[in-house]
Amino acid sequence: MSAAEGDHGQPIRERSGARTARSEGARVEGMSAAETMGAATERPVRLHGWALTWLRMRAVARRHAYVLLRSPHRLFDVTLWPLVDVLLFGALATYVARGHATAGGKAAGYLIAGIVLWHVVYQSQISVSTGLLEETWSRNLLNLMVTPLREVEYVGGVALFGMVKLAMGVGVVALGALVFYSFDVSTLGFGLIPIATVLLFVGWTIALFVIGVVLRFGAGAEALAWGVMFVVMPLSGIFYPVDALPVVLQPLALALPTTHAFIALRGLVDAHALAWGQIGIAAAETVVLAILACWFMVRMLRIFRRRGLITRLM
């Protein structure tokens, strides 16, 4: 037996290594037990209810914020387009105001105030509509459908991010009106708040209709995201009273909540008190349209899932 071997013929180095391994294993086992006890006392926080819904909505909003930051050209809708609008209608207002001091000045107020508040509808609608279109353009819609994310949470998250774009777009229009034409929209008073609120919800309601149509007919219907607003715009009487429209179109115009909101806006431009009756009619019509829009979108979503129409958007 050599000196490097013990009584049982096992090398001394191997036996000492085995004892070291056993002691290390015991120490690791003891540490694992302590760590397990610590982990048991510090359980992860599980979110439920509104807290979980709010978390998912913020995640959707952050996702679209990252897209905007990585693609600065998407700022066109909230910077350049509003600036073009205020320059165009502001120049027209200036030209009209030169013809007659009283009537021209009133018409100029209608034009500039109308285009500022119109962007509340436009920006709120386009932000939600293009939110879904963004998922189709990036082929991300299928990924969203296999997550626990609910439809209402997704729409809420896109609308939350849309509020940021809304503030940017309306801010550009209001600032442009002030800088180029010395028109301060804030001088119209607090009556702008209920008018803007109604217009905000109208924009979201129109967006639900657009989303339902895109789900049903595919990406070919994405032109409605922009085109539908140019149908609503002349019927809403943004710059003129409803009786200036053809007689055939007047009942349709009065059925739109935007028409009554802009009637109330023109009253503020004329230095009258806020027409709460018009605001009430606009709010009631908005509720009816919102119910119809939700029903339509849910129905189109069921058809979308049942027929496997997601292949159109991939």
Q: Among candidates 197, 202, 200, 172, which has minimal Cα distance to 185?
A: 172
Q: Is 172 exposed, middle or buried (0-12, 13-18, 19+ CB in 10 A)?
A: buried
Q: Is the pLDDT of residue 219 over 80?
A: no
The span from the CA of 116 to the CA of 175, in Å, is 10
- pTM, two decimal places: 0.81
Q: Residue 105: what pLDDT?
A: 67
pLDDT at 41 (0 to 100): 53
Tell me the helix, strand and coil percentages in the chain, rounded to 5: 80, 0, 20
pLDDT at 279: 95
Q: Which residue has the higher pLDDT, 277 or 6?
A: 277
Distance CA 40, CA 303 (A): 46
Question: pLDDT by residue (tens digit) across 122-152?
Answer: 999 998 988 888 888 888 888 888 888 888 8
Are 218 and 304 within 8 A, CB to CB? no
Average pLDDT of 296-303? Answer: 91
- What are the pLDDT digits (tens) for 227-285? 898 899 999 989 888 999 999 999 999 999 999 999 999 999 988 899 999 999 999 99
